Structure 1
Amino acid sequence: MRLPSLTRTEQSIAENFLQPHFLQKSTSIKEVAERLGVSTALIVKVSKKLGFSGFKQLKDALNAHHGSESYSPSEQLQPDDSCEQIVTKVLQNSINALTEILNFVDTNMVSAAADAIINARNIELYAAGGSNIICEDFQHKLLRFGVRANVPRDRHLMLMSASVLNEQDVVLVVSHSGQTVDLMDAVRMAKQAGATIIAITNNYHAELAQLSNYPLYAPASPEPLLGKNGTARLVKLALIDSLYATIASKIPKVAEENLDKTTKAVALLHR
């Protein structure tokens, strides 16, 4: 999640840190610097940017993580993988991603976001590209217990939507990068109008996270096939499900009554 805030060289160093067993307990900072062709000072700088006091604390944390019983490294697909290997890797990476977010999610933030949605006059769900289906899924879930939300389908509609919001409204934004141009103009306008912003993103340092009243982080690997286009969507959907269930728990009577109505309304379609 902190990778986008690093320079290209710093990102390369951090990505090496993330490789299983790249840092052994006995590995010195001098060894790492020589192996990567950088200075020890840069290694320390990257360690601090990643939230540690220095290289030693980062190394100890990684070794503790890799040595834990629950640790199972995510794997990339290889050109010669069999179907069995592909399926195993995809499903294991999905399990890893859900385990990671379970250890990371801020439940107080989820609860506050749920309260904001419950009390909102209007609920707008903004996304672009592959994230659109996440907003549509949330819209469908909310409608099941009588909470209406709108999903503007393009940039023009998002800007028009944002222009008529006020402090009684909520905008939930789904963006892996947190800096998609099509979204950010509308988010800035909604924020200026006084609307409450809820964000689901992977980028801790993105402008979207900074503008959000309630940022919800969905960490996922930047790897293009199984990472940001695979597990990233999975963890965002899991966060949406958590938010949906939290909302239902806060309005149990309304949720139960409307869920019964909407279930009966589509029962005729289930022949």
Structure 2
Amino acid sequence: MSNKVDDLYLLIESKRNEFTSVEQVVADYFIGKQPILSISALAKKISVSAPSITRFCKKLGLNNYKELIFLYSLSLHDQTADASMISTPVTASYHALATRSDASYRGQAVKNFCDLIYSTRIILFWGLGFNSFAGLDFTFKFSRFGKFIQSFGDQHSILLSAMSLKKGDVVLVSSLSAIDPEILRAIKIGKEHKAHFLLITANEDSPFVNYCDETIYAASFSADEKLGNISPQIPILIQLDIIYSKYISLHRKSVDKWLSSENILKQ
């Protein structure tokens, strides 16, 4: 038998076709990562005989139940260690983003976002790469309130949409770095057409800021920290959820009215 402790579960599953119905019950107990018990306590718990458990061990190529429990305990410890090494850093990153998002919250900026969104029915969303996924979330949320959202995820389509903008149109730009020259060019074109621009970014020094009506700053990690262990769009999604919650709070009557009309149409 292999000495690798993480082979234990694979070993049990590889022998499934050879197990009797009683041995299947024993196998399910260990595959289910249940508590370690003495052989007599286990026999009583799963209603099988102690000799049946011993035969199960033999079928796995082990000498006895003691050897099975030794390998099983190592496997459980290995899984716990893996959870500590993988899950903890990821959840810590989420917690850090949430804390920093709370610290950077500017109520007036969020209100200005909501007011501009409320003022128009058609909204353009510009975001490259992972930001385009955030555009899908924005579309899902605000289309429920009667807004028509058009999302653009590449420089070419963004430039084309900029050229067709009209006075009073609203564009939400999503970019953590906010330095892409083609997006900046599109914003400048839109401003010439007297469109309104909203920006969500993590870059306080972005050249986009000077051309936008309002900017919300998303949380970010420093160069010495890692963002690679979580999805890059998460900081943007946090801000979109904040905007969404504030919008509902500010415009509850209009939201309720629109949802009521939708319910009537569905009847």
CA distance in 2, matches of 1:163, 1:118: 23
Alignment gaps of 5+ in structure 1? 1-80
Q: Does 1:178 align with 2:201?
A: no
CA distance in 2, matches of 1:128, 1:213: 20
Between the two proteins, the alignment pairs up a number of residues equal to 187
CA deviations on 1:221-271 (whole Å, 9 max, x unpaired) are 15699417736522211110111122222322331243356679899xxxx
Contact 2:90 2:229 in 1 (8 A): no
Q: Secondary structure at the match of 1:150?
A: strand
When normalised by structure 2's length, the TM-score is: 0.63
CA deviations on 1:117-168 (whole Å, 9 max, x unpaired) are 1112531100000110101110110011212111124322212211122331
Q: Does 1:131 align with 2:127?
A: no
CA deviations on 1:42-75 (whole Å, 9 max, x unpaired) are xxxxxxxxxxxxxxxxxxxxxxxxxxxxxxxxxx
Shift of the 264–229 alpha-carbon distance from structure 1 to 2, 3 Å rule, reads: farther
Q: Secondary structure at the match of 2:147?
A: coil
Shift of the 262–85 alpha-carbon distance from structure 1 to 2, 3 Å rule, reads: farther
Shift of the 93–138 alpha-carbon distance from structure 1 to 2, 3 Å rule, reads: same
CA distance in 2, matches of 1:192, 1:132: 25
Structure 2 counterparts to residues 5-84 of structure 1, below 5 A: 82-84=82-84
Alignment gaps of 5+ in structure 2? 1-80
Match of 1:165 in 2: 165
- Which one-letter code corresponds to 1:243 in the other structure? I
- Which one-letter code corresponds to 1:165 in the other structure? L
When normalised by structure 1's length, the TM-score is: 0.62
Structure number, greater radius of gyration: 2
Contact 1:134 1:237 in 2 (8 A): yes
Shift of the 165–194 alpha-carbon distance from structure 1 to 2, 3 Å rule, reads: same
Q: Does 1:144 align with 2:144?
A: yes
Give the % identical residues.
24
CA distance in 2, matches of 1:161, 1:100: 33
Shift of the 83–229 alpha-carbon distance from structure 1 to 2, 3 Å rule, reads: closer
Q: Secondary structure at the match of 1:85?
A: helix
Q: Secondary structure at the match of 2:87?
A: helix
CA distance in 1, matches of 2:127, 2:194: 20
- Which one-letter code corresponds to 2:230 in the other structure? G
